Amino acid sequence: MIAAYARLTHWLESVLGPILMPTAARLVFAGTLLVYYWNSAMTKTGEGISGLWNLDFGAYTQILPRVFDAVGYDPSQIGVVGRLLAIAGTWAELALPALVVLGLLTRPAALGMIGFILVQTWVDIFGHGAGPETLGAWFDGTPGSLIADQRAFWILALLVLVIRGAGPVSVDALVSRRPAAMARMTS
């Protein structure tokens, strides 16, 4: 019985794990966070394609709330560094989730998303003044807080991708198979 259990767990870990875990992590990310981040990014962009660098009022309100308040909500007073931060944040909110879902440059994209979530959390707490009801706490018996609980799960799913990669159903896997196929053809 112990030997059968050991064989089953070995198969789960060595055969099914590398296929299921990263693929499921990307699928859950796509189903729960892709549209969330894209919708958020759309509140920051201006009109048309030039809106990717001519950001909307919402970008500064969301990304640099205290700085924007300090300059009287005048985007022209935000400065070059603030403007570049807002542009980089908006572009990251569009590009990183797409890369994760496609499984393209998955490890750096997932690591970038973890960094994004940490910055987002910092801005929510210190920039927007999120209160205890939003922050929540671990081990408090209520698993639905928007920051402590939910974002821990977001980061866990992304850590799977940082460690395991995108899995077999991804652009990364397709690209990594191509050089091996080309090498076999030239040998």
Quick: pLDDT tens for 107-144.
999 999 999 999 999 999 999 999 888 888 888 888 88
Q: Which of 107, 108, 101 is nearest to 36 (CA)?
A: 101
Q: What is the DSSP letter of 139?
A: T
**Cβ pair 24, 84 in contact under 8 A:** no
* Structural domains counted in the chain: 1
Range of the domain at 149: 2-186
pTM over 0.95: no
CA 75 to CA 79: how far, in whole Å?
8
List the alpha helices (DSSP H) in 1-105.
2-11, 17-29, 35-42, 57-63, 65-70, 79-102
Average pLDDT, the chain: 92
Query: Per residue in 93-109, pLDDT tens?
Result: 999 999 999 999 999 99
